[in-house]
Amino acid sequence: MARLLRPETVSQALRLLADGEVGTKLVAGGTAVMLMMRAGLLFPERLVALEHVADLDYVEVEPDAVRLGALTRLRDLERSVPLASALPTLARAIGFVANHRVRNRATIGGCLSEADYASDPPAVLASLGARVRLRSVRGEREVPVTDFLVGYYETVLEHDELLTEVVIPRPGPRVRTTYLKYVSRSAEDRPCVGVAAYVDADESGRTEEVRVAVGAATANPFMLGDVAQMLGGGPLDAGACRAVGEAYERAIEPIGDVRGSSDYRRKVTGRLVARALETTALSGHGNGAFRL
């Protein structure tokens, strides 16, 4: 039977983590940890429950960045008016995670730390250039989300580190963003493939910066380097969107699982990347999220 510890401050939580390299497990919303314990996959000696840790539940919208406390529940993020107005695509994409019961418990810090490849928020956060703040008794560091997630269920978190904050740079006024969640089974399923697009183009349609992150198909969000360079700074017309989709389809090495084989995911990726770019740049529906 695991010993349950309930720190009330970040410092107390950090001390508990520093004390217990082996057999200590953090639990935030518990939606992943409890399932693993019930399935007999996890036998922690000590559970450090973060529920009562004050000060890590917030949405702060600053001129240059949006800060999300790691213990903010997905349901609160989905319903946050400041978040919806600063980063509408992220707020809507979070609303596509699972169902109300899960989102009422799950936290953004837990979602990222779990590092389950079949998740929605990581691709959107990667496309936005988000970073995570990690704290321990030894100090603090900030890591891009793309470097934080390093493998299937694997992050760069050390045993004594706590993810305390997600920091998202605010896109400039020209930037448009989209997230497309493709589900292959039931409507509230995890994504088979999710694509987040970020397009910064001038009034004539010439692209300055284009980022595309493919989620749920590989260990961590898959991004090709400089997509705008691939387009030669030219406009993102239907042909260019298709060409980028084809480049992603050629480059990605997707996982196969119950939601789709590797080959199926590869084909879906090509179509979805093209569609996400078209939606963002051409349809006038930019800055939204859609479940397909």
Of 92, 190, 211, 259, which one interacts with ligand FAD (CB under 6 A)? 190
Asked if 192 is part of the footprint of ligand FAD (rule: CB under 6 A), the reply reads no
Would strands 154-155 and 288-291 be described as parallel, antiparallel, or unpaired? unpaired
If one asks whether residue 70 binds ligand FAD (CB under 6 A), the answer comes out as yes
**Does 30 sit near ligand FAD (CB under 6 A)?**
yes
Residue 31 sits in the site that holds ligand FAD (CB under 6 A): yes
Listed ranges 114-122, 141-149, 223-231, 250-258: which one lies at the site for ligand FAD (CB under 6 A): 114-122
d(CA 76, CA 57): 9
Residue 68 in contact with ligand FAD, rule: CB under 6 A: no
Half-sphere exposure of 172 (CA within 13 A, CB side): 8
Rule CB under 6 A: is residue 132 a binding residue for ligand FAD? no
- Judged by CB under 6 A, does residue 109 bind ligand FAD? yes
Question: Binding mask 247-276 vs ligand FAD (x if CB under 6 A, - otherwise)?
Answer: ------------------------------
Please report whether residue 219 would count as binding ligand FAD according to CB under 6 A.
no
Q: Note whether 37 binds ligand FAD by CB under 6 A.
A: no
Q: Which is nearer to ligand FAD, 44 or 249 (CB)?
A: 44
CB atoms within 10 A of CB 263: 10
Distance CA(15)–CA(124), nearest Å, equals 32
Which residue of 10, 28, 130, 166 would you call a contact of ligand FAD, by CB under 6 A? 28
CA–chain centroid gap for 40, Å, is 27
Window of 111-119, 143-151, 221-229, 235-243 that interacts with ligand FAD by CB under 6 A? 111-119
Among 119-127, 196-204, 230-238, 276-284, which window interacts with ligand FAD (CB under 6 A)? Answer: 119-127
156 is a contact residue toward ligand FAD (CB under 6 A): no
105 binds ligand FAD (CB under 6 A): yes
Candidates 119, 146, 177, 280: give the one binding ligand FAD (CB under 6 A).
Answer: 119
∠ Cα 114 110 40 (to 5°):
55
For residues 143 and 156, the answer to whether their CB atoms sit within 8 Å is: yes
Closer residue to ligand FAD (CB): 27 or 199: 27
> Is 20 a residue that touches ligand FAD (CB under 6 A)?
no
Nearer Cβ to ligand FAD (35/150): 35
- Residue with Cβ nearer ligand FAD (28 or 277): 28
The site for ligand FAD (CB under 6 A) is made up of: 25-33, 35, 70, 97-98, 102, 105-107, 109-111, 113-114, 119-121, 157, 162-163, 190
